Homo-oligomer: A and B are copies of this chain.
């Protein structure tokens, strides 16, 4: 016997919002936390999952503390010790590179260190639980966007799947 969807004071739904932002420099870090909170209010979200996705191969979305000393530590580790831009990257060898992977402006392509850093620093998105319309972030957690390349216009996508009022 089929079950009829319960009558309740919410509707299961999805919502998507695109956002553009301009980073100012190499390793610029932008706190997206409040923008995600605004999005959840706009769509009357109550409970579910929100995903914060960066549409780029040389940026990272990560959740951690917004603290300048820590930002210096991670920059030093990644871009001085592990993936120093002065090292040789095959990605930057434009003579052998497939044409369809070339950038319109040639020097835009010389970012081997940025791609490798993206691989080490994490996934292209974070997914966060939402309850009573708010993300269940811990006390120190902020949703951070890391620019691993030089200053650029970047696109972020917020997606919610769950219950809305």
B-contacting residues of A (Cβ < 8 Å)?
Answer: 1-14, 16, 18, 47-49, 51, 53-57, 62-70, 72-74, 77, 81-83, 89-93, 96-98, 101, 112, 115-116, 118-129, 131, 136-138, 140-141, 155, 157, 159, 161-163
Contacts and interface: CB of A to CB of B under 8 A. Distances in A.
A74 to B, nearest CB: 5
A97 B69 contact: yes
B57 A69 contact: no
A114 B161 CA distance: 32
Given A69-B97, A70-B90, A9 B16 contact: no
A63 B122 CA distance: 10
Per DSSP, chain A at the interface is: mixed
Contact of A101 (B67, B118, B163): B67
B69 A116 contact: no
